[in-house]
Amino acid sequence: MPSFTAKTSTISAALVVLIVLQGFCAVFFLIDIAHDFMEYRQPDFSLLHSSLELTANLALLAGAAVEGIFLAGLLRRQAHAERALSAASGALHDLMEQYFEDWGLTVSEADVAAFTIKGYSIAEVAQMRGSAEATVKAHLNAIYRKAGVTGRSQLASLLIEDLMNGALSAKVGPREDAARHPVQKSGTDG
């Protein structure tokens, strides 16, 4: 099972609590507002007031949905990163996720691709994802097709190539970069 940093766990749990609370309150008040609208003939019914309430609660619900999408993204990135602990992993990881997005990989394909780039075998990936090897092979074929490569080594070399071209140094903060390499120009336009 993946082991998470305490920080990710806390942030995720806090987000879930927030989503649940916002979601429930929005549903609760929307039911309430629906009752108000059904009694629009009553003298104390104000269309403006009720419409504003409706808007506020729909916005609350939308906020909960956005938090859900954000949480899914956070967990996905964390899941892909959990075994990458080298110094470059942060920037390399960003680059990797960017490629997955550009290629239009599905959630499962991106997960398989992350494992594959880190050098895990098909059997290992299947075991870590709780799926059959045939499924992983199908994912791999889709990944290679979408990335326009012929196999595992070409997939990895795409990232290496970008590393060489300085895509990584572009992602390192300029101050940190300058402090470490005072004379070297960073190839930010690569």
Partner 1 sequence: MTKVKVWDPVVRAFHWTVAVGFAANALLTDAEGKLHEWIGYAIFFLVCLRILWGLTGTRHARFADFPPSVEAAVAQLSDMAAGRNHPHVGHSPLGAWMIYNLLLSLIAICVTGYMMTTDTFFGIGWVEEAHEILVTWAEVSVLAHIAGAVYESRRLGINLPKSMVTGYKEMP
Q: Please give the residue ranges that form the binding site for partner 1 (CB under 8 A).
A: 1-2, 4, 8-9, 12-13, 16, 23-24, 27-28, 31, 71-73, 75-76, 78-80, 106-108, 110-111, 128-132
Q: Minimum CB separation from partner 1 for residue 158, in Å? A: 21
Q: CB of residue 59 vs partner 1: minimum separation in angstroms?
A: 19
Instruction: Quote the tokens at residue 4.
Output: 């998470």
Closer residue to partner 1 (CB): 31 or 47: 31
Nearer to partner 1, 2 or 190 (CB): 2
Phi, psi angle pair for 158, to nearest 5°: -55, -45
Nearer to partner 1, 145 or 181 (CB): 145
Smallest separation, CB 43 to partner 1 (Å): 23
Separation of alpha carbons 21 and 163, rounded Å: 43
Task: Kindly tell me the sign of the dihedral angle through the C-alpha atoms of 134, 111, 87, 152.
Answer: positive
User: Which is nearer to partner 1, 89 or 186 (by Cβ)?
Assistant: 89
Distance CA 49, CA 51 (A): 5
Closest contact distance (angstroms) between CB of 187 and partner 1 is 33
Given the complex with partner 1, which of 40 and 70 has the nearer CB atom? 70
CB atoms within 10 A of CB 44: 7
CA angle 44/48/52 to nearest 5° reads 115
Give the span between the Cα atoms of 94 and 104, in whole angstroms: 15
Q: C-beta of 13: minimal distance to partner 1 in Å?
A: 5
